[in-house]
């Protein structure tokens, strides 16, 4: 087979332009004009359609703006991110599903430049790299950087540091972790500090007024004084000021601060009381023989505080510097002579003196008892075993002891200078119950003694 030269090939296969020339030469004048006009209309339509092609900016599946082109949308979005970084000083990105789709829109043209920027600005949400404070593995707050996060943790420890030697730590596992969060979730120092202290709950406050005190406020808030003071570290109960704001609610903090230290204190050792019998003293009478002396010891405590409140106190070591000496008290067991009669009496003689004023009418009125002579301070004893009904001041009787002996029998001992018993106390016959005096309506020291049977006064002499 013989190959034809290239020139011959072109001659035998004319190009499209040659074919068009040959075709157009065959068309008459009107037909040629008609075809040219149609081609012109087609060209203009194509240019119009191309001029209305836009780029849709979709955020989370919703069209928020139309850009003149994909390139313009990309450029403006980059500008917005850069402006946000410069304004906030943070490395931010758009925290949304962002798509750019080309579309045909015959109703409006796409936006560009500042118009597109304004259209997009209100629809974008940014996210940023930050440092989270994680408690027990859960992020509770996020800050812009590690320095700010460490400052918050240091401030928490400083708030509840009880002294300069205390070891301070967190009760929970606390660590700093890198996070990516919406920019609006980043907190500043003050917000983070308050949020961790209160557990994110609103703190109820009260403004102090004249006459307020922390004790009444604690009762009103339903907390203890210690809890109220812990919620207000800067508020001192002895330096309250009108207009001062006090936190009234105890919130549960997200991080609890534990402080511990050892403290050496000097303490008193209480003395023991030893009693011994003394036959020279009347029954019920007591006398201090040795006053006793307090001892002294040094105790080392390990104190543990939680958020400023003491929760534990443990004795680490103890040393006695001086032992205590016991207090020795003598107890009387001597009985007064039971009776001045023949021995058939029911009641014992309450005091050692003689009768200076008998039972019966005296000065136009009834003397309901007998007066027994005695010096101020002389012992007065129970005339029989029984229960003390009262030991108190009773008008003209002065200081008086009343004893019930059962069976409706009561005895009264009046004008005493002091009482050695109290209401409800059980006493034995001959037990010291008081001292002679002249209290009430009395012209001098003596014992006024009465006997009542079923509420009726009787002559005491017949029962002694």
Question: Using H for helix, E for strand and C for coil, what is the string for the chain?
Answer: CCCCCHHHHHHHCCCHHHHHHHHHHHCCHHHHHHHHHHHHHHHHHHHHHHHCEEEEEEECCEEEEEECCHHHHHHHHHHHHHHHHHHHCCCEEECCCEEEEEEECCCCCCECHHHHHHHHHCCCCEEEEEEEEEECCEEEEEECCHHHHHHHHHHHHHHCCCCCCCEEEECCCEEEEEEEEEHHHECCHHHHHHHHHHCCCCCCEEECCCCCCHHHHHHHHCCCHHHHHHHCCCCCCCCCCCCCEEECCCCCCCCCEEEEEEEEEEEEECCCEEEEEEEEEECCCEEEEECCECEEEEEEEEEEEECCEEEEEEEEEEEEEECCECEEEEEEEECCCCCCCCCCCCCCCCCCCCEEECCEEECCEEECCEEEECCCCCEEECCCCEEEEEEEECHHHCEEEEEEEECCEEEEEEEECEECCCCCCEECCCCEEEECECCCCCCCCEEEEEEEECCEEECHHHHC
Quick one: pLDDT at residue 56? Answer: 85
pLDDT digits (tens, 9 = 90+) for 298-325: 999 999 998 887 888 999 999 999 999 9
Question: The whole model's pTM is what?
Answer: 0.48
Quick one: pLDDT at residue 363? Answer: 76
Fold exhibited by the domain 338-463: Glucose Permease (Domain IIA) (2.70.70)
Mean pLDDT value across the chain? 81
In CATH, what is the architecture of 131-247?
Answer: Roll (3.10)
Fold exhibited by the domain 260-331: Resuscitation-promoting factor rpfb fold (2.20.230)
Residue segments in the chain with a per-residue pLDDT below the cut of 70: 1-53, 88-96, 104-108, 123, 125-126, 200-203, 237, 249-251, 282-285, 333-345
Quick one: pLDDT at residue 205? Answer: 78
Quick one: pLDDT at residue 414? Answer: 96
Quick one: pLDDT at residue 43? Answer: 56
Quick one: pLDDT at residue 74? Answer: 80
Task: Please state the domain extents for the chain.
Answer: 16-51, 53-124, 131-247, 260-331, 338-463
Quick one: pLDDT at residue 256? Answer: 92
Quick one: pLDDT at residue 210? Answer: 81
């Amino acid at each position: 087979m013989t190959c034809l030269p290239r020139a011959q090939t072109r001659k035998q296969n004319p190009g499209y332009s040659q074919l068009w020339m040959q075709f157009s030469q065959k068309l008459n004048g009107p037909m040629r004009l008609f075809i040219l006009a149609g081609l012109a209309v087609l060209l203009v339509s194509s240019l119009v359609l191309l001029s209305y092609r836009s780029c849709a900016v979709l955020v989370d599946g919703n069209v928020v703006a139309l850009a003149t082109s994909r390139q313009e949308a990309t450029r403006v979005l980059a500008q917005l991110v850069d402006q946000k970084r410069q304004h906030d000083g943070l490395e931010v990105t758009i925290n949304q599903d962002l798509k750019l789709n080309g579309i045909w829109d015959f109703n409006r043209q796409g936006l560009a430049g500042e118009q597109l920027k304004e259209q997009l600005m209100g629809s974008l949400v940014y996210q940023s790299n930050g440092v989270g404070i994680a408690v027990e593995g859960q992020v509770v707050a996020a800050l812009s950087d590690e320095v700010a996060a460490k400052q918050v943790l240091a401030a928490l420890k400083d708030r509840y540091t009880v002294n300069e030697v205390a070891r301070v730590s967190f009760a929970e596992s606390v660590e700093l972790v890198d996070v990516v969060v919406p920019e609006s979730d980043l907190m500043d120092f003050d917000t983070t500090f308050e949020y961790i202290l209160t557990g994110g709950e609103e703190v109820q406050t009260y403004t102090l007024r004249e006459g307020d005190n922390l004790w009444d406020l604690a009762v009103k808030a339903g907390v203890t004084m210690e809890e109220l003071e812990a919620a207000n570290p800067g508020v001192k109960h002895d330096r309250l000021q009108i207009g001062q704001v006090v936190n009234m609610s105890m919130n549960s903090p997200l991080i609890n601060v534990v402080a511990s230290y050892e403290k050496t204190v000097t303490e008193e050792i209480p003395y023991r009381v030893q009693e011994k019998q003394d036959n020279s003293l009347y029954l019920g009478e007591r006398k201090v023989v040795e006053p006793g002396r307090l001892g002294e010891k040094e105790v080392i405590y390990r104190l543990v505080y939680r958020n400023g409140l003491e929760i534990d106190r443990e004795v680490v070591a103890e040393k006695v510097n001086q032992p205590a000496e016991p207090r020795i008290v003598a107890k009387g067991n001597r009985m007064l002579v039971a009776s001045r009669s023949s021995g058939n009496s029911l009641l014992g003689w309450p005091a050692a003196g003689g009768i200076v004023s008998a039972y019966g009418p005296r000065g136009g009125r009834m003397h309901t008892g007998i007066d027994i002579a005695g010096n101020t301070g002389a012992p007065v004893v129970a005339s029989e075993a029984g229960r003390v009904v009262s030991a108190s001041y009773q008008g003209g009787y002065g200081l008086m002891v009343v004893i019930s002996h059962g069976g409706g029998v009561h005895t009264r001992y009046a004008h005493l200078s002091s009482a050695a018993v109290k209401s409800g106390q059980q006493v034995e016959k001959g037990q010291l119950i008081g001292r002679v005096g002249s209290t009430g309506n009395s012209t001098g020291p003596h014992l006024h003694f009465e006997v009542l049977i079923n509420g009726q006064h009787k002559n005491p002499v017949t029962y002694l």
